[in-house]
Amino acid sequence: MNRPTFDFSGKRVYVAGHGGMVGSAIVRRLAREDCEILTADRGVDLRDQQAVNAWFAQARPDAVFMAAARVGGIAANDAYPAQFLYDNLMIEANVVEAARQVDTAKLLMLGSSCIYPREADQPIAEDALLTGPLEATNQWYAIAKIAGIRLCQAYRIEHGCDFISAMPTNLFGPGDNFDLDTSHVLPALIRKAHEAKVAGDEEMLVWGSGKPRREFLHVDDLADACVFLMREYSGAQHVNVGSGQELSITELARLVADIVGFEGKLAFDSTRHDGTPRKLLDSSRLNAMGWRPAITLEDGIAATYRHFLKDGGRRVMLRG
């Protein structure tokens, strides 16, 4: 076990993107630490270097979780390449540089499994990065996230900053985006199964062939892994954070339908992209450090559906 490299007690910890699904999970997890949690209100545009510098100069965080990003599912990534590349590059560069300027002791950059080549050997180890072409639908986001990793490595080399990177697999959980055009697959299927059940539909629509395989991790497990890495890990190499649990989109749709209680059939929309055929992460380096996920996919989906009904479902159904 690495010796502890960051002690949270008494520290000022900034969660960039605290209002998003990942950021809010990190805030929930940090509540168990003896630290002061800092958040910047939405008035601070993280794409604006002056605004970010000014905020850091007064907040002076000891640690930063970089969970702020422009995110979305396969359709959103494909439709808005400029936003996904520009916004994410600016946010990363501004936060990393502002943290350096105020001597932030530790920063954790959050990326995504889409940084790896489309045809990477599975499970995907960290050293597969940049060994082959990216998946076309999310290459823009992927390049921005690869730049984030390289930025942290460059600041380690030139400025001696203890900035690290974590690459999570596909995430889901409370606070997820349930908009059917811009969301990821799991929240979309929860909403579709729910609406089909309520409407008494005979079938629910699944994009693509249903053949691609995906690995999923509940966002509360990711948040726990981020706190673990901030405390225990200091190194240039990014670290994969996965559950090791993968299944096909068809199997996922069936599982979601069963949990939601939709008993109809699955219909497949072949006009929609499948995207990457498979992206199962090799998380053995993180496991060897002593971290493992605690939430099963089944329990996570059931909990997310309860959250959806409590807030998302009612609001979405009212809009019709």
- Where in 81-140 is the site for ligand GFB (CB under 6 A)? 112-114, 138
Pairing of strands 213-218, 170-172: parallel
Residue 170 interacting with ligand GFB (CB under 6 A):
yes
Please identify, among the stretches 18-26, 147-155, 201-209, 254-262, the one whose residues bind ligand GFB according to the rule CB under 6 A.
Answer: 201-209
* Catalytic annotation present for 141: yes
Candidate residues 20, 117, 174, 275; the one interacting with ligand GFB per rule CB under 6 A:
275
Least distance CB 29 / ligand GFB (angstroms):
20
In order, the DSSP letters of 123-164 are: SBPGGGTTSSPPPGGGHHHHHHHHHHHHHHHHHHHHH---EE
Angstrom distances, CA of residue 24 to CA of 40, 174, 222, 267, 298:
13, 9, 11, 34, 22
Residue 184 interacting with ligand GFB (CB under 6 A):
yes
Please identify, among the stretches 53-61, 236-244, 274-282, 290-298, the one whose residues bind ligand GFB according to the rule CB under 6 A.
Answer: 274-282
Report how far residue 139's alpha carbon sits from residue 214's, in angstroms, rounded to the nearest whole number. 17
Please identify, among the stretches 48-56, 193-201, 203-211, 231-239, the one whose residues bind ligand GFB according to the rule CB under 6 A.
Answer: 203-211
Q: How many chain residues interact with ligand GFB (CB under 6 A)?
A: 25
For residues 184 and 218, which CB has a smaller minimum distance to ligand GFB in the complex? Answer: 184
For residues 116 and 155, which CB has a smaller minimum distance to ligand GFB in the complex? Answer: 116
- Where in 47-66 is the site for ligand GFB (CB under 6 A)? none
Name the residue type at position 129: L
In order, the DSSP letters of 234-280 are: --SS-EEE--S-EEEHHHHHHHHHHHHT--SEEEEETTS----SB--
Angle at 41 between CA 146 and CA 59, to 5 degrees: 80
Residue of 116, 141, 155, 233 marked catalytic? 141
For residues 15 and 22, which CB has a smaller minimum distance to ligand GFB in the complex? Answer: 22
- DSSP code of residue 15: E
In order, the DSSP letters of 267-318 are: EEETTS----SB--B--HHHHHHT------HHHHHHHHHHHIIIIIIHHHHH
Name the residue type at position 271: T
Interface characters, 138-157, with ligand GFB (x: CB under 6 A): x--x----------------
For residues 59 and 86, which CB has a smaller minimum distance to ligand GFB in the complex? Answer: 86
| Binding positions for ligand GFB, rule: CB under 6 A | 73-75, 77, 112-114, 138, 141, 170, 183-185, 188, 206-208, 212, 214, 249, 272-276
Catalytic residues: 141
